[in-house]
Structure 1
Amino acid sequence: MEIQDSESNNSHNNNNNGGNTDNCDPFFIANSDNPTSSLVAAVFTGTNFMRWSRNVKRALVAKNKEGFVNGEITKPAVNHKDYMKWKRADFMVVSWILSSTNHELADDFGYINTAADLWRELNERFGQSNGPLIYQ
């Protein structure tokens, strides 16, 4: 029986995931990740921002993608070797966030190009809270 090295055993996975099989890498996209999936059970309606944003952040941390919305993972130069990996992962995060909002809001924010810009815009528009709303 022939024994293959781990590199050849992983060639199928590498092809499906842009050569990245490290789920600790923020650019990693699992085969089960779908751009039309909602990150949270309760979608954002325009009035539940504090609770919704907390739950979305938790989901992004679980997927190792929080850095795309908080600015820790910045857009590389177009000619950088990681640009396409960044773009793919960032577009996935944008899609997840928009899929976690109601259709009217998703349409309003569909013009925003990066996850960080989308998150910033949502926070500026809906993140203004007063005392009673913080406990929603």
Structure 2
Amino acid sequence: MGDNTEKKSIDTGMPSKPKWENPNHPLYLHHADQPSIILVPQPLVEDNYSTWVQSMSMALLVKNKIDFVDGSIKEPSGDKPDELQQWKRCNNLVKTWLLGLMSKEIVSSVIHCKDASQMWLDLQELFSHVNTIQLFHIENEIHDCVQGSMTVSSYFTKLKSLWDEQDAL
């Protein structure tokens, strides 16, 4: 076995479990963490990156896998084969989740990324120029927004939504 399972616990003298068997560890995989699960309601398409990335970030945080996209968990060295294998499983799971929530056109531009962090950065770079165009459209929507027959509450909700989207960009 690898170096994580051969260590003896100081308290019991029994072999200790690998650190990734702790549900709070980023390398932990729950039996429900399957490649086919849908983490966010809408896939990434050309014009929804800002809301998609926020939703996806929240979902990955809940799954304790945000470290794979923000780059804070690095690929372990080859001298820890069990940990490296577990990291690869988790990294590929996160990549599968991301790819499953993108349009086919976007998938083709990021599928060859070596890890989830690189995929995340490539998406950010790909959509950074789109944000300027989106910002222009949102500002126009804010400018053109009139209450008309909407209630004050509905009107404010619409404006607040546009302001929040503008701030996100």
TM norm. shorter chain > 0.5:
yes
| Structure 1 match to 2:92 | 91
Aligned Cα RMSD in Å? 2.1
Shift of 1:19: 8.4
| Structure 2 match to 1:46 | 46
**Distance (Å, rounded) in 2 between the aligned partners of 1:36 and 1:110:** 16
**Distance (Å, rounded) in 2 between the aligned partners of 1:42 and 1:97:** 12
Shift of 1:34: 1.1
Kindly tell me the number of residue pairs found equivalent between the two proteins.
120
Say which structure, 1 or 2, has more relative contact order (CA 8 Å, 6+ apart): 1
- Structure 2: gaps (5+ residues): 1-16, 139-163
**Distance (Å, rounded) in 2 between the aligned partners of 1:105 and 1:117:** 14
| Structure 2 match to 1:112 | 113
SS in 2 for 1:127: helix
Change (3 A) 1:102 1:77: same
> Larger radius of gyration, structure 1 or 2?
2
**Distance (Å, rounded) in 1 between the aligned partners of 2:76 and 2:46:** 32
Shift of 1:78: 2.7
| Structure 1 match to 2:78 | 78
Runs of 4+ residues deviating >4 angstroms: none
- Structure 1: gaps (5+ residues): 1-13
Name whichever structure is richer in helix by fraction: 2
TM-score by length of 2: 0.64
